[in-house]
Amino acid sequence: MEPRINHGQPGWLGAWLQERCRQGLGVPEAECLCLRMYYKFDGIPMALRHQLSRVTLASTFAELARRGWIRAARDAAGEDLLTPQYWQRLLTPNYHRSGPIYDQALGETVFLRLQRGLD
């Protein structure tokens, strides 16, 4: 499915993401990017940084999923992917987990692709 490019309001973080990566992302890439942006916000324009709270990021990524910018494999995440609660759970620290919080290498790779604006 082709992602709908609807940038929404000027200054919206989702518009910046859509502009930088027009073809969208798969779920694993989007999850790692969301976590990377939450834990490490360098490289994100100062004007957008106020949108990097857990609640705002969750709402942004849920909206991007509803618009088709985040591509899910058939039945991969179901309808949950479209809700802010899915993304809030992703961003909620799990202190019982051992090992890395997310795939940092994938998060950085996706973010570098965004910075360069490569599709």
Q: For 101-119, how does the pLDDT look when each residue is reduced to its tens digit (9 = 90+)? A: 678 889 889 998 888 864 4
Whether 64 shows a pLDDT value over 70: the answer reads yes
CB-based contacts of 1: which residues, under 8 Å, 6+ apart?
68, 71
Q: Kindly report the average pLDDT of the chain as a whole number.
A: 84
Whether 33 shows a pLDDT value over 80: the answer reads yes
- For the chain, the domain total comes to 1
Could you give the CA distance from residue 91 to residue 88 in angstroms, rounded to a whole number?
A: 5
Instruction: Judge whether 17 lies within some domain.
Output: no
Could you give the CA distance from residue 69 to residue 98 in angstroms, rounded to a whole number?
A: 31
Instruction: Judge whether 68 lies within some domain.
Output: yes
pTM: 0.81
Domain extent, residue 47, equals 28-92+100-116
Q: What is the per-residue pLDDT for 30?
A: 95
